[in-house]
Amino acid sequence: MVTYPMTFPAAEVKRLIDFASAAEQIEDFNCTLSGEEIERLLKIVQTSEYYKPVGVRWDSTSSDPTLTVIDINGTRITPTTTWFDNHWLWGDMELVVRNRSTGVISKGSNPRGDGLTIDGTAGDVLVKIRVPRYLYTSASPYRYLWFFPDIDEYSQLPYYPAAYQRGGVAHPVIYVGAKEASFRVDSSGNILLQSVAGVLPATGSRTYNLAFTSGNTAFTVGETITGATSGATGTVIAFYKVSGDWAAGTASGNVYLQPCSASAATPVNFSAAENITRTSGSAVATAAATAISLNIDQAEDYANAIGSGFGITNIWTQRLIAWMMAIEGGSFNTQYKWGKGVVDLNATTGSPLACGADSIDLTANAAENGTGRGTGTDGLTPVKYRSLENPGYGNVWEWQIGLNANADGSYHILNRDGAGTTAAMPATLTSDMYDTITGLPTTAGFISGLSTDERGFLAGLASAVVGDNSTYLCDYHTPSAISGSAARVGGRWSSGNFAGPFMIDMNVAVTLSDKYTGCRIEYYPEV
């Protein structure tokens, strides 16, 4: 039984009452309330308009990507953005910052996160997501998916599978990186991932480790350094002093670089024992710079290193977000509804935009619910959905832990109840961790059907691929030509109309590390 305090903050009481459209029940908001009165108010809230289940009906025979948004009775409804902003599920998505030392999570003055420091100095920038309970059913040609609030009335329904991952215990609330993951280095010299504004996403083969000595001034994140002999350049994203003293000019350690030029695939390599030219200070490179790899296992390891409960997004987390976007938008055509995202840059000369590019984080470019676009041209500028920047599509491919595929069209996907999973998960799932889904397409194409298996439907896995970028799901499916492949989703900066939150590429080895593929962190708090 829940025990409530004998007094309750007046502002919170007013919010609850307003939320339930029952403001007339109390005239003086400075009063104190008994536990029974609070219990009554909470029951009012739980039966209010914003605690109602909502779902979609999809006509699987229609090429129209439009979805019919429905209530619990299957009746069509037309909820507004304001309705979603107040809903138990969508309305509670909010930007937060988690302090890396204390684990304390701080909120802003609204879901957009106004007032928070998001450059990393205060911690990782995350988005809080409640995990709904769900119901799936079908009656040919229709497929139905409802999301239910996590209240006693619906406690017999299971949580959406994202809740149970990383240990098999239900997590009613999880957190996802508001930004694509980037590299950082801790005080012990360990490489970790982070979610912050103002830096480039972490990908393979575009971040370099350069050993240095004779450093007389600490490096500055964001400064450009140049090899006096080779002419190599790089932008500092992190550094670690192993020994020595800056003031004495004897500091040595490692500095981590990314290319200065957006069109450069890699920086020109530094030579061993050459002087490093800097804006202020000096140092000497002691070896050629070496590229840092980011295959899916390494991405998970770097995310695990953040702390307990951290990893890269698993396939169920990413698909929960994809379904939330589809339900709120009333369509599978995500790019039409929310914006194309960063998808129209040149494949060869282009590169990912920095997190927070095109003033996407300015309040003028996003509503209070955190949804908006950058100041650039659609297709060349980031999109935010409820504070999630590049929300599962565009800019860089994102690794997804928890899904392996074989050339015969069979997939291994994390058990819906999280059975066999651990806090850290391997790129190749062990037999106790997965369910098997068979009969998926072995040819590439735009998704025109979803698996008839409930697990496959919830995970947005294709059953047919004869659509195009404006019909059916509007997103592209690439099958595996190998056994035991990994999964990456969403598309990169040059994917164009092929991109989207249901876009998936299964034809990638778990060893792949390239400049196109990054990841996003997730956090499962202890329950």
Residues ≥6 apart with Cβ < 8 Å to 242: 189, 252, 253, 254
The answer to whether the beta carbons of residues 134 and 157 sit under 8 Å apart is: yes
Residue 44 pLDDT: 59
Residue spans of the chain under pLDDT 70 = 1-33, 40-47, 261-268
Residue 2 pLDDT: 35
Does an H or E element contain 298, and which? helix 296-304
Chain Cα centroid distance, residue 206:
21
Q: What's at 322, amino acid-wise?
A: A
Which tokens sit at 108? 């802003």
What count of residues does the chain have? 527
Q: Please state, as a whole number, how many other Cβ atoms lie within 10 Å of the Cβ of residue 492.
A: 28
Q: How far is CA 451 from CA 41, 140, 329, 411, in A?
A: 42, 13, 22, 11
Residues ≥6 apart with Cβ < 8 Å to 102: none
Residue 185 pLDDT: 95
Which tokens sit at 303? 């995310």
Phi and psi at 335, nearest 5°, equal -65, -30
The answer to whether the beta carbons of residues 105 and 96 sit under 8 Å apart is: yes
Question: For residues 97 and 454, what is the distance between their CA atoms, to the nearest angstrom?
Answer: 35
Question: For residues 489 and 476, what is the distance between their CA atoms, to the nearest angstrom?
Answer: 10
Helices (H), 2-110: 10-19, 35-46, 81-86
One DSSP character per residue, 94-106 reads EEEEE-TTT--EE
SS3 158: coil
SS3 300: helix
Predicted confidence (pLDDT) per residue in 338-370, tens digit: 999 999 999 888 889 999 999 999 999 999 999
Does an H or E element contain 456, and which? helix 454-458
Residue 266 pLDDT: 55
HEC profile for 490-513? CCCCCCHHHCCCCCEEEEECCCCC
Question: For residues 328 and 131, what is the distance between their CA atoms, to the nearest angstrom?
Answer: 15
Which tokens sit at 231? 């002419």
Question: For residues 2 and 183, what is the distance between their CA atoms, to the nearest angstrom?
Answer: 42
Question: For residues 320 and 318, what is the distance between their CA atoms, to the nearest angstrom?
Answer: 5
Cross-strand partners of 215: 251
Question: For residues 353 and 444, what is the distance between their CA atoms, to the nearest angstrom?
Answer: 28
Chain Cα centroid distance, residue 360:
16
Predicted confidence (pLDDT) per residue in 148-201, tens digit: 999 988 999 999 999 999 999 999 999 999 999 999 999 999 999 999 999 999
Which tokens sit at 204? 């393979």
Question: For residues 513 and 511, what is the distance between their CA atoms, to the nearest angstrom?
Answer: 6
Cis? peptide before 141, omega within 30° of 0: yes
Domain ranges in the chain? 10-47, 51-171, 208-291, 314-518
Question: What is the residue whose two structure tokens read 């804006």?
Answer: 279
Residue 15 pLDDT: 52
Question: For residues 235 and 217, what is the distance between their CA atoms, to the nearest angstrom?
Answer: 16
Residue 27 pLDDT: 42
Residue 23 pLDDT: 39
The answer to whether the beta carbons of residues 475 and 501 sit under 8 Å apart is: yes
Question: For residues 504 and 405, what is the distance between their CA atoms, to the nearest angstrom?
Answer: 11
Sign of CA dihedral 387, 388, 390, 391: negative
Phi and psi at 294, nearest 5°, equal -145, 65
The burial class, CB within 10 Å (0-12 / 13-18 / 19+), for 434 is: buried
Q: What's at 40, amino acid-wise?
A: R
Residue 264 pLDDT: 56
Question: For residues 249 and 243, what is the distance between their CA atoms, to the nearest angstrom?
Answer: 11
